[in-house]
Chain A
Amino acid sequence: MGEFQTITASDGFALNAYVARPASQPKGGVVVVQEVWGVNHWVRSVADQYAAEGYLAVAPAMFDRIEHGYQSEDYSDRQFLIIRPMLAQFNADTALLDVAAAVALAADGGKVGITGFCFGGMMTWRAAHAGLGLACGSGYYGGGIPNYIGLAPTIPLEMHFGDRDSGIPNEQVADLKAQHPLVDIHMYPAEHGFCNADRPERFDPAAAALAHQRSLAFFGQYLA
């Protein structure tokens, strides 16, 4: 189990980050970027899982600049009424400063990889373009492909998508693959959010397990 601590971005902004440390010497660092519900139970569990695998895992609270301390376990439509005005204030440039602060802390564990889900998948791609001192990335179902397809990754990157995703057209995933042939893009027979074990209606254990194994193998290859 990890704990929250405060990290500071290069512009002086202080944000929360959930930090999970492995029991022994880390074999690398992993930044875990949240979905739109903040660093909630499931995101913390992902960080804990990477710590259990031997990585120093850091999950920055990406919406702290908008509402400090935001996180929610409410996956219902009601929560979107709260999230919508928050995301209207979202700024991808300052978000990358927050990711960079998380990378700096995770670097205590060695080379650093990044992963993220939905919103975090989109941020994984943007971080892979920006570099940020990262060694590699493994992102999940990042929406808004037309907004990031032109941002060429500068580090090894793989992405995971579900072929039944009703927010991300398969055709755009194919375009992403065609435009970036060096990015490993994996498709699963699954819906958007298929890794989230706290959402049984979306969780696909088989797809999630296979994707996680691929992420571990990717991190094992590039963070060694």
Chain B
Amino acid sequence: MPEGRARALDSAGRAVAEFAATPLARKQAMLAVLLIDRAADALFDRKSGDDPLRFREALRRADADLGLVLDLAEMRVGGPALVLGPRRVGPEAYVGLTEPDYMVGLYNGGRIERVLISLADGSVHDALPVLTGALSALQHQLA
């Protein structure tokens, strides 16, 4: 793998890992979004065709999570946005939360805060699985 691609993918992977460790940090999520976007651009070369925009469009179509992350990185007015918002979690979801997250949820009626992706249609998605999925899609492209 060319060194530039490997470095870009590695940076994106580290950013996603850091976001997983700090799941309440919207800035960290945005950093991961931008580094995934940069890694996607780094995948393009002459063998991919001669139109980088068309290449990005193909990546977008190939994987929904990656498509959403590329949309986020474009920061269009009315496009998807990273927001901080509540998630209600049941007892089973407490597995895997940090202790402070767990504890704060306990005395707030099972409500925890999460970085979410808000779409124009009003739907929201947890940011972490989307970013993880997008990263996996890029790694799959390189495999």
Contact = CB atoms under 8 A, between A and B. Distances in A.
Interface in A122-168: 122, 143-144, 146-147, 165-168
B25 A170 contact: yes
A192 interface: yes
Interface residues of A, number: 25
Q: Which of B26, B99, B104, B108 has the most CB of A within 10 A?
A: B104
15 contacts: A80-B94, A80-B102, A80-B106, A84-B91, A143-B108, A144-B108, A146-B86, A147-B108, A165-B100, A166-B101, A167-B100, A168-B113, A171-B25, A171-B84, A172-B84
B22 interface: yes
A87 interface: yes
Interface of A: 36, 77, 80, 83-84, 87, 90, 118-119, 122, 143-144, 146-147, 165-172, 191-193
A167 to B, nearest CB: 3
A172 B111 CA distance: 14
A192 B100 contact: yes
A146 B84 CA distance: 11
Contacts of B24: 166-171
A169 B113 contact: yes
B25 A169 contact: yes
Contacts of B94: 80, 84
Given A166-B24, A172-B113, A87 B106 contact: yes
B106 A36 contact: yes
A172 B98 CA distance: 18
A36 B107 contact: yes
Nearest to B23: A166
A167 B106 contact: no
B142 interface: no
B58 interface: no
A83 B101 CA distance: 14
Contacts of A87: 106-107
A204 to B, nearest CB: 14
B75 interface: no
A118 B105 CA distance: 11
A147 B100 contact: no
A36 B106 CA distance: 9
A165 B91 CA distance: 22
Q: Which of A80, A84, A87, A166 has the most CB of B within 10 A?
A: A166
Nearest to B95: A77
Contacts of B107: 36, 87, 90, 119, 122, 143-144
B64 interface: no
B108 A168 contact: no
A175 B121 CA distance: 26
